[in-house]
Each structure stands twice: as C-alpha cells, then as structure tokens.
Amino acid sequence: MKPSITLRYIVDIGFWPRRTAEQLLADPGHLQHGVTAWLWIGLIYGLTAFVGGLNGVGASTEPSLRLPSAGYYLWMGPATPLLYLLNFLVIAGSIHLLAKLAKGRGSYEQTFAVTALTFVLPVVLTMWVFEMPLLVFFPHLQPKVPGGLWILPAWFNNGRQWFGLIWIFFILGIATSRVQRLSIWKALPITLAAFIFGWAVELTYLR
C-alpha cells in the first residue's frame, strides 16, 4: 500500500465523497487506508499537543475528566492517537449498527475506513492549521484567545470549527450512503446520531 494512494483518498473524499467511497469499496486495502488515515491525524495532532504542553500551554477550560489544566496538553500528546481511535470506533460502530437496522449492507471495516478518511482533510484545514501555530509558535497568546490565532476574530474561530464539523457530517453521510447501500435520506440521520454518540465521548476529554 502506497501512502500516496491514502493521501489521494483523503483529498478526494473531502470533495467527491460518493465517487471516492465507491472507489474505496473496490479497493481490497480499504481498511489499511483507514488505519493509515487514523495514524496520520492522531500523530499530527498528538505531536502538536505535546509541543504545546512543553511550551507551557494549558487548557482554556477544565475537561469533564477533571484533568489538570496546566498539564492538559502534555497528557493529550501521547493520548491523542488512542482518543482518535476511540472516537472513530464509536462513530463507525454506531453508523454500522444503525445502518443494519435500516437494512444496510456494508461491512464494519468499510465503515471504519470512510469514517477515518473523511475526518482528516476537514480537521486539518479548519482546525489544525489554526491551532498548530498557537500551540507551537505563539504559546503566549493562548490565554487571551484560546482556540485560534490572535489576529482572527472570535466569530471566525467559532465559525471555522462549526464549518469543519458540518463538512465532515455531510461527506461522511454521503460516503455512508454508498458503503451501506442506503438512500442519502437514511444515511444522513444515521450519521447525525453517530456524531452525537461520538461527541458525547469527546466531551469527556476535550478542553
């Protein structure tokens, strides 16, 4: 399996989810591509968080797990890949189970693959590219403007995060409709329910 093929799937599914999901179904290495996408986003965010922790950046709000705010990113660094895996497993598992109730025909491995692949591009473009400079290069600005660069207004920082989540929701819903052989009107509510389950898990550790 070539990493360049995984990268192509990541980019293509961000803009052409229906066509890319069909190509992925025909690829015998679809699960490997999904696992590779998980490792990439987990390691990229984990390394960024750990460097932020070394720079003295703390959580802007206390997570539900009551983790110490001062050492939050030092803890999140090594834990991020596993937390992404947990989130992907919950979302893909929820989609798969709900799709089966709606007579979906896709496999869990296929669902996990498209789940992991759909997250990478929106997360990188709407979240990581804005948060990485703050954690790595401008840690002294973090207490003033958590979650974004100091030159950007609060409405933009909130908007970019919501846009990223909506982007993921729609491309994952479209991809799910192809993987599970369901209509888009069945796939979107299933994806929304899985998002809610995944978000409930994330709220326990996100700052």
Share of the chain above pLDDT 70, in %: 85
pLDDT band for position 205 (50/70/90)? low
Average pLDDT, the chain: 87
- 9 membership: H or E segment, kind and range: helix 3-15
**DSSP H helix total and E strand total for the chain:** 8, 0
pLDDT band for position 166 (50/70/90)? very high
- Tens of pLDDT along 114-138? 999 999 999 999 989 988 887 888 7
Angle separating helix axes 30-54 and 129-136, nearest 10 degrees? 30
Q: Tell me what pLDDT residue 145 has.
A: 44
Q: DSSP letters along 36-101, please?
A: HHHHHHHHHHHHHHHHHHHTT---SS--TT---STTHHHHHHHHHHHHHHHHHHHHHHHHHHHHHH
Taking a C-beta distance cutoff of 8 angstroms, is the pair 10, 37 a contact? yes
**Cα–Cα distances in angstroms (integers) from residue 67 to residues 72, 73, 131, in the given order:** 6, 10, 20
> What is the rounded CA–CA span in Å between residue 118 and residue 109?
14
> What is the rounded CA–CA span in Å between residue 32 and residue 57?
34
Q: Tell me what pLDDT residue 177 has.
A: 97
Is residue 64 pLDDT above 70, yes or no?
Answer: no
Q: Is 129 helix (H, G, I), strand (E, B) or coil?
A: helix
